[in-house]
Every structure is written in structure tokens, then in C-alpha cells.
Structure 1
Amino acid sequence: MSAGLPLIVTRADPGGAATAARAAAMGLDVRHLPLFAAHALPWTVPDPAAFDALLLTSARAVELAGPGLARLAGLPVHAVGAATAAAADAAGLTIEAVGDRDAQGLLDAMTSQGIARILWLCGQDRSAFDTRGAALVPLACYAVDAVPPPPGWAEAIAMPAVLLAHSVRGARRLAELIPAGRGRLALAAISAGVAAAAGEGWAAVAVAERPDDAALLAEAHALCHKGRQMGSFER
């Protein structure tokens, strides 16, 4: 039986497909409608000896880095979220710390420990951080490109539903594609910053307690049930 209002998953695959599968296993009525597509970028592996640690803010960096990732196995990994840490561990990397908030919080913790030379394996589009004086070197190994909304998008957002926002960029895309009519749609965001990037006007907004899929889906599950109990989020 469907658990309330539909849940719309828009993140790029393979992460989007994994999220959709987890949501379906929770009994949610999932609409898998990716608004982005991810692909690997060529990159040159730097000398690991030039760094004290490897920062990972997305599991996608691990999934798309390719064989060069193995050459960084000697660096202790500081990962944002359990999913990123699990991907790194499965790839044979050594997990030193897992951040349960956001990337800035983890970076603050790293610099407070005196970690001064940090390699950040990341995407082409990335956030800016306060490095607290540390040398943070971003190295893009993948890109995520916006794609046209897939078939079924217009119909999905025309009815009450819950949307997932996994990133600032994803939240901004939702705001761009849904400039009006947000009063019938609820938003579950992976962080407060992501929620802010989506703008105002949503019927309801929930923020995950931790920056990972499990916490985000827990909030989405509650929103879907809330919408069912109310009949919709329409004001």
C-alpha cells in the first residue's frame, strides 16, 4: 500500500536510483524523475605525499573517480555522511572521520585538529568553504549536468507531492522549474543550506537531522504521511 503522497526523486543516477529504491522499500509511492546526469571527468592523480588527508563530500566522487582513486588509498578519509563513508570504505579507502552535519562543519573539525593540507576529490560544480587557513585543493573527478525534465514531470508536480533536495544546486533547480504552484508541494532537504536554496512558498519544508539519505528519507516519509492525513498540502 502506498504511504501517502507521492515522493519525487530528482537527483542524478546512480544515486537517484538508489534513493528511489530505498524509498520504495519504505512503502513510499516513488516517482523517479532525474533532473541531472552525472559523468566522470579525466583527472590526474596528485602526489599523495603532498597532502595530510582526503576530503570527500559526495559518494559520487568515489563512484566516478575511476582507477586513479586507488593511488590515494594511503590518505585518511574525512567523509560527509554515512553514505559517502560507506562508498569510500567499499573502495578500499581508510575512513578517519565521518561528519554528521555538512562539509563546512567537517572541514572546521579537520582544521581544529591541525590538518593543514587537504585534497578534496569533488565535482566540477562545488561550494565554497572557509578553510580556516588550511590549504584545501579541490580536484574535480566528475560533473553533474542539468537535463530537461523527463516525461511525467509536469504531471507529477501538478498534484500534491513531496520533493527531495539533495544539494544546493538541486534545490535551485527545483526553484527554477517550479516558480509558482509550490503551495501544493512539500520539500525535504538534506541540510538547512539546501532548504534555503530552494526559496520560499513550499507548503512544508523538513530538514534532515544528518546529511545522508536515510535521515532525508525519514523526513520525506513523515511529510508523505502528513500530506495523506491532511488530504493535500494545498493552501
Structure 2
Amino acid sequence: MTGGPPLIVTRPEPGNVATVERARAMGFDARAMPLFAARAIDWCPPDPGNFDALLLTSAFAARLAGRGLAGLASLPVYAVGAATARAAEAAGLTVAMTGSSGAQRLLDDMTSGNIRNILWLCGRDRSEFDARGAMITALPCYAVDPAPVPAEWEALIAAPATLLAHSARAAQRIAQLVGGARAHLSLVAISPAAAASAGDGWRDLAVAGHPDDVAILAQARALWHKGAK
């Protein structure tokens, strides 16, 4: 894929560098352009005996929760995406199920298995889900804040390029920053919700088959081959 348009990776670190390295190994001209930065926030672990399971929708929850996470180790973890599952296991948690089709589908699987009291260790800014009759307690343990726009951003989006949106918030900010330039830009979203947040008017708008880095890069490669024909 040498010689193709640049691939702009907007996710926060440490995921940004991992995605850039994976993309470059695939032959992309990948550029690190993080538009957000993650940080830990204060939180207090509740009594795990009040819950049936721990829901993790982002690897940041496992990476940034800190020592309080040990108090929840008795709860089975339901993780969205392989990266989140790996982060949970690295933090000493036991993963009962890894969802590959987004948070709502995983939540549906949980409630169909009669899991009713769910602790959701999440970010300060988060999406809402249909609880399907379950009791979901959202407990923020990290925040993802907008970061300054990198100096090279304007030059990169002035010409054809492909951008990756690893969340709905990322897709929304990308759309705001590129404005009318989206007509010559392609965007690959990690989920249908992220694609919806990106709006219309893109040269190409595609959705990853699964909510993980491997799938989003596979979709970017498919877009590249489409444009190369």
C-alpha cells in the first residue's frame, strides 16, 4: 500500500502508538494525531457483593482504575472488544465473556443470561444503553478529554486521507474539525454509533466489522483497495 493517502490515527495514547505501529506494518503511511488524552479520576469501589458482574466497555477502565480495581476482582468481567478483555486480564480480573459486536449486544447477552445487577466501570463521558430490565450502576473511574489539535493536522486534511474514529466522541470531534474538507476525506468508524456521530458528506464512510483495532484497520485496507482500483 506504499504511496497511498495517509492514515490519520486520532485515538488517545497508549492506543495511538499501537495502532500506528500495526498500520505501518500493514503498509499504511500512518500518522499519529491524537485528539484526546485519557486520565484517571478519583473513585471508590463499592461492595462487589451487591453486583452480579462487572461491565467494561473500554480498556481505559482497566488501565486507569488503579488499586481500587482489586476490590472488584471477585466479579466476572464482561468486556467489549479483545483489547478491553486483555487489559482486564492484565489487571488481574477474570473475563467471563468478550463481546465482538458492541456494548449493547454484550449487554443483551448478559441480561439473557439472567445477569441483573451490573456494575459498569466507565468513563466520565459515556453513551447510554438499553438496560433490558437490568440494574446498571455506572461508576466513572477515568476521563478522556480533548487534546490540542496537532500542528500537522491542517496540512494532512487538506489533501485526501483516511481517518480512524475509535469512538463516537472521536467521530464527532473529527467531523467538527474537518468541516467541509470531508468531501475529499474518508473515515472508518469502529461502530455504527461512531459512524452516525460522524454525519454525512464524506468521500467514503465505513464501519469496522468488530469493535477492535484489527477490524478497523482491515476496513481501512478495504477502502484503500477500493480507491486504488
- Inter-partner Cα distance in structure 2 for 1:32 and 1:86: 23
Query: Partners in 2 of 1:3 and 1:56 — Cα distance?
Result: 38
Q: TM-score, normalised by structure 1?
A: 0.94
CA distance in 2, matches of 1:226, 1:148: 33
> What is aligned with 2:226?
226
Question: What is the Cα-based RMSD across aligned positions, in Å?
Answer: 1.2
**Superposed counterparts of 1:143-222, under 5 Å:** 143-222=143-222
Structure 1 runs of 4+ aligned residues shifted over 3 Å read none
Q: 1:117 to 1:3 in 2, by over 3 A?
A: farther
Q: Which runs of 5+ in 2 are unaligned?
A: none
Q: Which amino acid aligns with 2:12?
A: A
Per the alignment, residue 40 of structure 1 pairs with: 40
Deviation at 1:2?
A: 2.4
| Counterparts in 2 of 1:151 and 1:119: CA distance versus 1, 3 Å | same
**CA drift at 1:3:** 5.8
2:143 paired with 1:109: no
Once the 2 structures are TM-superposed, how far is the Cα of residue 224 of structure 1 from its aligned partner? 2.8
Post-superposition offset of 1:188: 0.6
Q: Which amino acid aligns with 1:126?
A: R
1:15 aligns with 2:5: no
**Which amino acid in 1 is paired with 2:23?**
A
> What is the CA distance between 1:17 and its match in structure 2?
1.7
Distance 2:68 2:23 in 1: 32
Query: Is it true that 1:61 corresponds to 2:61 in the alignment?
Result: yes
Q: State the alpha-carbon separation in 2 of the partners of residues 150 and 211 from structure 1.
A: 26
- The two structures have a TM-score, normalised by structure 2, of 0.96
> Which moved further from structure 2: 1-10 or 75-84?
1-10
Instruction: List per-residue Cα deviations over 1:46-72 (Å, max 9, x = no partner).
Output: 111111000000111111111111221
| Amino acid paired to 1:48 | P
1:66, 1:28 → 2: CA distance?
35
User: What's the secondary structure of 1:46's corresponding residue?
Assistant: coil
Equivalent pairs counted in the alignment come to 229
Counterpart-to-counterpart distance in 1, 2:220 and 2:53:
34
